[in-house]
């Protein structure tokens, strides 16, 4: 019902001023940094947490905590129930068919490594090929390189154009009878590009090749429907969706998850253990060895409830308006260049200022209380593609305001003055 | 002094007009310092006569803190003895990691302007790279990186 309310809201006002309505939910946004109001524009690295999620964590720790799936006592039953409720919240959030298709992981990186070990090491052989793209974060490159090295498999890379868009024709040409897997980001963390993953997944499936989607940068900014996308795996992290760190999920189609070997061995992932033979548990527990971050999972669920109440479509619309507002201003500043100019992107602005190293940009903006990310954004192949060592990246959330964009623009002007 | 004014002073003075910028004929010590994380690269050449650094030059691509640090370093160590340079390297390193009491005795002079970097752990490497490179050059090592163990000084082959 609450989601429906938000959608109805949207119909009356296509881009409601979300920041005006929800900013007060985030206590950290009242901070001052270097005596200036914090302008937090590093949301692609990690988003901030609303009071309702903080309260949920406190409530869990003060009234509900025990280990899960084990004891018969009161607290254990409560904790187990809340943990499994969080799993179902995540299931509905991405429209998975069943809750057992949601595996809690420590984050996106952990989820990708799970697929590499569980699926890749079992099914990928010497001479096989794995397709990645030039837009991947290191976390969706390195595990596959490790696998390729171990198995004698080959990595193929989908190139991008100067706007930072994948060349889909080239992608299709990379397929051959040895292609066994595609690992592809939904949204580029460094440039903000939204990839046409639905078509790319469909093409891979025509060749009988499964696809993993790195959704770390997409899930916070748009509605994700894994059944509509028909992806085989989809991974994202809680801390980029206003939740805690140390928690994320891997969605996987039940059939595939069942066919895979466990990633980590330990408690909770077994049905029975003798020294002769261990029988593994069913999914999702087969992939959740050891005591999971229970509080973080429940906090993640609370964060998803919070975002769902606002509505992902409303968030996407508002953030798009912020992006347009920021782009229009920054693009007109002489000597400033935006890297990644596709029209289909999330609210990420990667830019360089002529004659100023991005690290100096980051340090000087910090003096004004503005938090941006500077560096290669764990995506060195993108930097190599554009022949730059690094960029400065402003990434927006629905709690950011146009006034904060103005502060960023003033900050850029003031840096140019220092370096003039 | 807040960081912005350090920036302005250092950048106005040394980033735009770096001292001893360029290459050196007949250098007898040479090293390249590299920070792979941000792409900073400092190429340093020295001519050491007896115990004295009588000529020094650097070039490369880097952020303003690194470039200004290199510029001021070359201006300071030119004409100094090896052992004086070693003392400055130690004091500078201790200062930027916050272990040097600047109110006590030291030899850093205007280099003390970099003390503010200690509040920015991510920028310490930028300020210190030229000094690591100097250490390597004096030890006749050829390449240093900010991303190797043991304070980034490790042996490689020798003179230029």
Mind telling me how many Å the CA of A147 is from chain B's nearest CA? 25
Whether residues A349 and A303 share a domain: the answer is no
Of the candidates A174, A167, A126, the residue with the CA atom closest to the CA atom of residue A150: A126
Between A376 and A138, residue with greater pLDDT: A138
- In this prediction, residues B40-69 reach a mean pLDDT of 93
**Which of B2, B3, B63 minimises the CB distance to A357?**
B63
Whether residues A297 and A368 share a domain: the answer is no
Burial (0-12, 13-18, 19+ Cβ within 10 Å), A80: middle
- In this prediction, residues B120-133 reach a mean pLDDT of 90
| Residue A231 belongs to domain with CATH number | 3.40.640.10
Give B-chain residues touching A364 at CB under 8 angstroms. 4, 7
pLDDT digits (tens, 9 = 90+) for A46-77: 999 999 999 999 999 999 999 998 788 999 99
For the question of residue A378 being annotated catalytic, the response is yes
> Cβ(B124)–Cβ(B97) under 8 Å?
yes
| Mutate: best of A42, A352, A353, A359, partner B, most B CBs <10 A | A359
Q: Would the CA dihedral through B115, A417, B76, B35 be positive or negative? A: positive
Sequence-distant (6+) residues with CB within 8 A of A2 are A308, A309
Query: Whole-angstrom Cα distance, residue A182 to residue A200?
Result: 9
- In this prediction, residues A346-350 reach a mean pLDDT of 97
Query: Residue B3 and residue A363: Cβ atoms within 8 Å?
Result: yes
Q: How confident is the model at residue A16 (pLDDT cuts 50, 70, 90)?
A: low
Whether residues A200 and A80 share a domain: the answer is yes
pLDDT digits (tens, 9 = 90+) for B58-115: 999 889 999 999 999 999 999 999 999 999 999 999 999 989 998 999 999 989 888 8
Pure H helices in A116-266: 121-123, 142-151, 168-174, 197-206, 226-229, 254-259
Residue that terminates a domain, selected from A256, A280, A308: A308
> Cβ(B107)–Cβ(B84) under 8 Å?
yes
Q: How confident is the model at residue A43 (pLDDT cuts 50, 70, 90)?
A: very high
Mind telling me how many Å the CA of A414 is from chain B's nearest CA? 11
Domain that holds residue A14: 2-49+311-418
Whether residues A35 and A74 share a domain: the answer is no
Whether residues A351 and A280 share a domain: the answer is no
At residue B149, the pLDDT reads 44
Mind telling me how many Å the CA of A144 is from chain B's nearest CA? 22
Whether residues A156 and A115 share a domain: the answer is yes
Query: Whole-angstrom Cα distance, residue B58 to residue B88?
Result: 18
Sequence-distant (6+) residues with CB within 8 A of B14 are B67, B68, B71, B72
At residue B157, the pLDDT reads 30
Characterize the bridge pairing of strands A248-252 and A39-40: unpaired
Residue that terminates a domain, selected from A308, A330, A351: A308
SS3 A255: helix
* Residue that the structure tokens 């408690």 belong to: A267
Give B-chain residues touching A359 at CB under 8 angstroms. 38, 63, 65, 122-123, 126
At residue A386, the pLDDT reads 92
Whether residues A271 and A131 share a domain: the answer is yes
What was the ipTM of the complex prediction? Answer: 0.78
Query: Residue B3 and residue A419: Cβ atoms within 8 Å?
Result: no
* Residue that the structure tokens 């939904």 belong to: A186
**Which of A360, A367, A418 minimises the CB distance to B63?**
A360
CB atoms within 10 A of CB A61: 12
Indicate whether A345 pLDDT > 50: yes
- Report which listed range, A22-26, A375-379, A385-389, B111-115, is most confident: A22-26
Indicate whether A325 pLDDT > 60: yes
Q: How many domains does chain A have?
A: 2
pLDDT digits (tens, 9 = 90+) for A218-238: 999 999 999 999 999 999 999
Q: How confident is the model at residue B9 (pLDDT cuts 50, 70, 90)?
A: confident
Give A-chain residues touching B39 at CB under 8 angstroms. 389-390
Indicate whether B153 pLDDT > 60: no
Q: How confident is the model at residue B151 (pLDDT cuts 50, 70, 90)?
A: very low
At residue A397, the pLDDT reads 98
Query: Residue A364 and residue B39: Cβ atoms within 8 Å?
Result: no
Query: Residue B120 and residue A363: Cβ atoms within 8 Å?
Result: yes
Candidates A102, A131, A378, A382; catalytic one: A378
Whether residues A42 and A62 share a domain: the answer is no
Whether residues A119 and A228 share a domain: the answer is yes
Query: Whole-angstrom Cα distance, residue A223 to residue A7?
Result: 12
**% of chain B residues with pLDDT over 70:** 84
Q: How confident is the model at residue A14 (pLDDT cuts 50, 70, 90)?
A: low
Query: Whole-angstrom Cα distance, residue B143 to residue B152?
Result: 10
Of the candidates A10, A42, A44, A11, the residue with the CA atom closest to the CA atom of residue A28: A42
| Residue A326 belongs to domain with CATH number | 3.90.1150.10
Whether residues A107 and A74 share a domain: the answer is yes
Whether residues A165 and A250 share a domain: the answer is yes
Give B-chain residues touching A376 at CB under 8 angstroms. 37
Of the candidates A343, A349, A340, A337, the residue with the CA atom closest to the CA atom of residue A400: A349
Q: Which chain A residue has the Cα nearest residue B120?
A: A363
At residue A17, the pLDDT reads 87
Task: Supply the CATH classification number for the domain B3-152.
Answer: 3.90.1010.10
């Amino acid at each position: 019902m609450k989601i429906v309310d938000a959608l109805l809201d949207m119909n009356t006002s296509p881009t409601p001023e979300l920041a005006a309505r929800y900013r007060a939910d985030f206590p950290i946004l009242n901070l001052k940094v270097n005596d200036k109001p914090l302008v937090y524009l590093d949301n692609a690295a990690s988003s901030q947490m609303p009071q309702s999620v903080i309260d949920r964590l406190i409530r869990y720790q003060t009234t509900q905590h025990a280990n899960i799936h084990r004891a018969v006592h009161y607290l254990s039953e409560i904790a187990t129930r809340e943990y499994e409720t969080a799993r179902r919240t995540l299931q509905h959030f991405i429209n998975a068919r069943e809750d057992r298709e949601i595996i809690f992981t420590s984050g996106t990186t952990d989820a990708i490594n799970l697929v590499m070990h569980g699926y890749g090491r079992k099914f990928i052989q010497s001479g096989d090929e794995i397709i990645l793209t030039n837009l991947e974060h290191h976390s969706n490159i390195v595990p596959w390189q490790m696998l390729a090295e171990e198995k004698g498999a080959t990595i193929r890379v989908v190139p991008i154009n100067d706007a930072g868009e994948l060349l889909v024709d080239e992608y299709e040409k990379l397929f051959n009878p040895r292609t066994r897997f595609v690992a592809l980001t939904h949204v580029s963390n460094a440039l903000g590009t939204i990839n046409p993953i639905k078509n790319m997944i469909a093409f891979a499936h025509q060749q009988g090749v499964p696809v993993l989607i790195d959704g770390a940068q997409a899930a916070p900014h748009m509605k994700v429907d894994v059944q509509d996308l028909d992806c085989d795996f989809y991974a994202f992290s809680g801390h980029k969706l206003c939740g805690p760190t140390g928690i994320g999920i891997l969605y996987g189609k039940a059939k595939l998850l069942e066919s895979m070997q466990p990633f980590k061995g330990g408690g909770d992932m077994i049905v029975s253990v003798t020294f002769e033979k261990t029988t593994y548990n069913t999914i999702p527990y087969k992939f959740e060895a050891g005591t999971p971050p229970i509080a973080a999972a429940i906090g993640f669920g609370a964060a998803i409830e919070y975002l769902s109440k606002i509505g992902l479509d409303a968030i996407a619309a508002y953030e798009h308006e912020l992006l347009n507002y920021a782009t229009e201003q920054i693009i007109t500043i002489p000597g400033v260049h935006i890297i990644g100019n596709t029209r289909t992107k999330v609210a990420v602005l990667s830019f360089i200022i002529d004659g100023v190293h991005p690290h100096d940009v980051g340090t000087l903006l910090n003096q004004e209380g503005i938090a941006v990310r500077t560096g290669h954004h764990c995506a060195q192949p993108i930097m190599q593609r554009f022949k730059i060592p690094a960029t400065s990246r402003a990434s927006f959330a629905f709690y950011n305001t146009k006034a904060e964009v103005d502060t960023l623009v003033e900050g850029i002007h003031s840096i140019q003055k220092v370096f003039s | 002094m807040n960081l912005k004014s350090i920036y302005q002073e250092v950048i106005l003075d040394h980033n735009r007009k770096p001292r001893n910028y360029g290459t050196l004929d007949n250098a007898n010590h040479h090293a390249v310092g590299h920070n792979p994380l941000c792409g900073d690269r400092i190429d340093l050449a020295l001519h050491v006569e007896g115990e004295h650094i009588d000529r020094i030059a650097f070039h490369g691509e880097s952020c303003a803190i690194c470039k200004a640090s290199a510029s001021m370093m070359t201006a300071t160590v030119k004409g100094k003895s090896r052992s004086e340079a070693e003392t400055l390297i130690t004091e500078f390193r201790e200062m930027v990691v916050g272990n040097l009491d600047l109110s006590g005795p030291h030899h850093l002079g205007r280099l003390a302007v970099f003390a503010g970097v200690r509040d920015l752990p991510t920028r310490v490497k930028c300020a210190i790279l030229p000094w690591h490179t100097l250490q390597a050059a004096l030890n006749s090592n050829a390449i240093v990186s900010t991303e190797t163990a043991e304070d980034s000084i490790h042996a490689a082959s020798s003179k230029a």
